[in-house]
Amino acid sequence: MERWGGFVYRHRRAVLLVSVLCLIASGVAIASGGQFKNSEHYNVESIRAFNLMSDQLPASNGTMFALILTSTSLEYTSSAFHAQVDGALSQLRADPRVTKVDTPYNSPAQTAHALVSSDGQGVIAIVHLNISFGDARKDFPSIRSEASSDSLSITAAGDPVIAYDFDASLAKDLQRSEVISLPLALILLLIVFGTGVAALLCLGVGVFAVAGGVGATLLLTHAMDVSTYAENVVTLIGLGVAIDYSLFVVNRFREELARGSSTEAAIRTTMATAGRAVAFSGITVAIGLGGMLFYTGTFLVSMGLAGALVVAVSVLYAVTFLPALLATLGSRVNRLPVPILQPRPFGRGLWHRLAVWVMKRPWSVLVPTLAVLLAAGIPFLSIKLANGDVTQLPPGTESRRGAELLQHNFPSAGQNAIPVVVQFAQPPTQPANIAAAYALSRRIAAIPGVASVQSYVDLDATFSVATYQQLYAQPATSLPATVRDELRSATGRSIAVLTVQTNYLPSSEPAHQLVRTIRSSDQVPGATVLVTGDTAFDIDLVDFMVGHTPAAIAFVVLTTFVVLLVLLRSLVLPLKAVLMNALSLSAAFGALVWVFQQGHLASVLGFTAEPLDPTIPVLLFCIVFGLSMDYEVFLLTRMQESYRRNGDNREAVAEGLERSGRLVTGAAAIMASVFIAFALASVVTIKSLGLGMAVAVIADATLVRALVVPALMRLLGRVNWWAPRWMRRRTEVAAVAHAA
């Protein structure tokens, strides 16, 4: 890294030119755009069933959404109401993207009643589209604008509406967070550095890194499905990490200049110390994000890759673009001073006194601090997991209002469809298969909470098994049109789909219990029965995440331990670092459950309390584990430098905290401000990630690094620096070479 610093100094103009070209390339990638998409391809029952439907029922790929039309004075049976509905939908029906619109007025009698509200003053119009789901979510505003009425209230609901509202809300959240976090970061950087040039350098590198990360993520969308949350998370991680890395590099450069070093020598030393720490820190963050790769088939894989890309870009700019700028500026990095914010010279100041104070009474500090951190994590013991649904959106969004209207006013329709896929060895219209499907349908219909069952053996409540067998013994071409339509949409070469309608919200506990009951009563001799739909996805996702988490945690922890072992040349310090991260995570996880599951601060932050989405704890662990290691790396490397010089553990701890304490606190304040800005988001997933990460960083930089670490290192003494003889020899050689 020292040689690299010399290389950058000598070729600083070329490095700056390449950096600018990379920024331009990032802008081109952003301008070219990309389609974000949450995709699920992991091997669970609900996805296997969905794949069967997609393979054998082309109609099941059709996109649709609902429009709820309500009147304050008219009954749906009146001719005036009918005329108003037709008028509201006339332009929509003429749209070439719309294949048909089903209302109670043109639907079969057996299904029409489900499209009428319980008070008789509202109807549902099912809008069928001939475009893909991705196009539907993008074109939804233009399609929705074609349904209008001066006399009826119209509200949209359904998956394309939810997807569009998520996209719109995430875009607004991203803009709001950037507007809040960037000025806050600049103010905090001015406080840390006391000079405008140094502060603007760090902020500029942060913007460069985010642009590069977002551009790389958009390029990734052309090769694989990338989560809709990726852009927000990339910005969240990129701003925090890039500004932190820049802060440590700029601070070390200024420190070396203050010692009287030339610009070239300062660059070399900065890269050999802070640059090396940044590189290792980036590796630890990437390792944490790599834990998401264990959830193969879920959108977490794309999140992990996108996060790793922005971290790689942040490290790259921190060890190329930034030192090239510093080499060009030299002592001018201290220009634009803010007099009242000038930092004091390093010496035996506050952080040194704090370290000495802690080391004089290590047990008195360690025990109560650990108790506070562990107590903060207690709420996590009562965690409940459920896949996020429309309640992740703000209450005012149209899709959420539509879902609530369906739940309260249309109990017969059911807003949650649970497809039950029956796979036979022979075509489903065989007499024995008709009898089996008929019996299964009646068993399911008798389960409490089921509003209705729709299938090819549920056309008419008066039909018997024999009637259906006689009906389907005829050639398909001779069947009535409504029967042909049902047969085409609900059966395939070897499958039949029974669509169970319930009024339970997809992620609610009653809906979970209903799916479990269906799965326990779905035995059909000679056939395989699979349950899919949003609720089944929810159950299977939670089970999948829980099953794969131990391997992900083991990978992150063990790999991080090995990397820190190489960096610190100690067996004890890497183990201590991992345990310190666990304390920070404990506080963050406890805060997640206390706030978002138990509902504290719900009115302040504007969300609905509910079980946590199972991906949120995984995201928080994988992101925070690496980010928290940043401060551990910078703190311990400074302590290591001091210990190598004087061999005194107490002095190394005190000097390391003095040299990095103010910086770590400033970096944590900047990162926390970025995260808190995202905690103000309207989408609960981003809001919970922002809050959880802010809590983890604040706890890590204050209680853990300022109190627990020096107390524990005082108790361990020289054991902190113990390593096998072969490792010590390498360390001694490296130290001698560096001194020379």
DSSP state of 491: B
115-171 residue pLDDT tens: 999 899 999 999 998 888 888 888 999 999 999 999 999 999 988 999 899 989 988
pLDDT of 732 over the 50 cut: no
Q: What angle do CA 243, 244, 246 make, to 5 degrees?
A: 65
Where are the alpha helices (H) located in 221-293, listed in sequence order?
A: 230-258, 263-270, 276-290
685-728 residue pLDDT tens: 889 999 999 999 899 888 888 899 889 989 988 888 887 776 66
> Average of pLDDT values for 167-194?
88
**Beta-bridge mates of residue 153:** 70
Identify the H or E element spanning 534: helix 534-568
The pLDDT confidence band at residue 479, using thresholds 50, 70 and 90, is confident
- Torsions phi, psi for 92 (to 5 deg): -65, -45
pTM of the model: 0.82
Are the beta carbons of 442 and 458 closer than 8 angstroms? no
Cβ-Cβ contacts under 8 Å for 605 (sequence gap 6 or more): 595, 679, 680, 687, 691
Cβ-Cβ contacts under 8 Å for 466 (sequence gap 6 or more): none
Across all residues in the chain, what is the average pLDDT? Answer: 88
390-437 residue pLDDT tens: 888 888 899 999 988 888 888 766 568 899 999 999 999 999 999 999
Residue 260 burial (CB count, 10 A)? 8
Distance in angstroms (rounded) separating the CA atoms of residues 381 and 374: 11
pLDDT of 734 over the 50 cut: no
> Average of pLDDT values for 456-474?
91
Distance of CA 16 to the CA centre of its chain: 33
Residue 75 burial (CB count, 10 A)? 12
> Average of pLDDT values for 565-576?
85
- Give the per-residue pLDDT at 110: 66
Q: Which of 110-114, 149-153, 261-265, 666-670 has the lowest mean pLDDT?
A: 110-114
| Distance set, CA 551 to CA 45, 426, 546 (Å) | 22, 41, 10
| Distance set, CA 733 to CA 354, 569, 570, 641, 672 (Å) | 33, 12, 15, 14, 39
DSSP state of 505: -
Identify the H or E element spanning 15: helix 12-32
Are the beta carbons of 558 and 545 closer than 8 angstroms? no
pLDDT of 729 over the 70 cut: no
* AA identity, residue 14: A
Are the beta carbons of 457 and 434 closer than 8 angstroms? yes
84-102 residue pLDDT tens: 999 999 999 999 999 889 9
Are the beta carbons of 391 and 166 closer than 8 angstroms? no
> Average of pLDDT values for 644-658?
85
280-291 residue pLDDT tens: 889 989 999 999
Torsion of CA 51, 52, 55, 57, to 10 degrees: -120
> Average of pLDDT values for 164-184?
88
Q: Structure tokens of 591?
A: 């805060």
Residue 631 burial (CB count, 10 A)? 29
- Give the per-residue pLDDT at 727: 64
Cβ-Cβ contacts under 8 Å for 179 (sequence gap 6 or more): none
Look at the block and give the residue holding tokens 């991992």.
578
Can you give 600-612 as a three-state secondary structure string? CCHHHHCCCCCCE
Distance of CA 100 to the CA centre of its chain: 36
The pLDDT confidence band at residue 740, using thresholds 50, 70 and 90, is very low
How many percent of the chain have pLDDT more than 70? 95
Residue spans of beta strands (DSSP E) within 594-725: none
Look at the block and give the residue holding tokens 């981003």.
686
SS3 content of the chain, % helix, strand, coil (to 5): 70, 10, 25
Distance in angstroms (rounded) separating the CA atoms of residues 667 and 177: 18
Give me the helix-helix angle, 534-568 and 572-592, nearest 10°: 150
pLDDT of 631 over the 80 cut: no
pLDDT of 311 over the 60 cut: yes
Distance in angstroms (rounded) separating the CA atoms of residues 95 and 142: 10
Distance in angstroms (rounded) separating the CA atoms of residues 123 and 115: 6
Sheet containing 63-70: order of strands: 98-102, 122-129, 63-70, 153-157
Cβ-Cβ contacts under 8 Å for 148 (sequence gap 6 or more): 88, 91, 154
Distance in angstroms (rounded) separating the CA atoms of residues 717 and 524: 68
- Give the per-residue pLDDT at 349: 65
Rg over CA atoms, the chain: 31
Closest to 395 (Cα-Cα) out of 683, 66, 67, 692: 683
Are the beta carbons of 533 and 419 closer than 8 angstroms? yes
Are the beta carbons of 497 and 380 closer than 8 angstroms? no
CATH numbers and ranges of domains, the chain: 2-32+164-376+539-739 (1.20.1640.10), 60-163 (3.30.70), 399-538 (no CATH)
pLDDT of 345 over the 60 cut: no
Are the beta carbons of 694 and 675 closer than 8 angstroms? yes
- Give the per-residue pLDDT at 705: 83
Are the beta carbons of 491 and 412 closer than 8 angstroms? no
* AA identity, residue 712: L
The pLDDT confidence band at residue 346, using thresholds 50, 70 and 90, is low
**Beta strands 98-102; 122-129: pairing state:** antiparallel
- Give the per-residue pLDDT at 570: 84
Look at the block and give the residue holding tokens 């506050």.
350
Would you give the end-to-end CA distance of the chain in angstroms?
A: 15
> Average of pLDDT values for 300-329?
94
Are the beta carbons of 501 and 417 closer than 8 angstroms? yes
Q: Which of 10-14, 124-128, 174-178 has the lowest mean pLDDT?
A: 174-178
Specify the higher pLDDT residue, 388 or 72.
72
Cβ-Cβ contacts under 8 Å for 51 (sequence gap 6 or more): none
Distance in angstroms (rounded) separating the CA atoms of residues 518 and 531: 8
DSSP state of 595: I
- Give the per-residue pLDDT at 736: 39
What DSSP letter does each residue of 542-589 carry, written as one string? Answer: HHHHHHHHHHHHHHHHHHHHHHHHHHH--SHHHHHHHHHHHHHHHHHH
Specify the higher pLDDT residue, 717 or 552.
552
Closest to 190 (Cα-Cα) out of 701, 670, 660, 635: 670
- Give the per-residue pLDDT at 344: 57
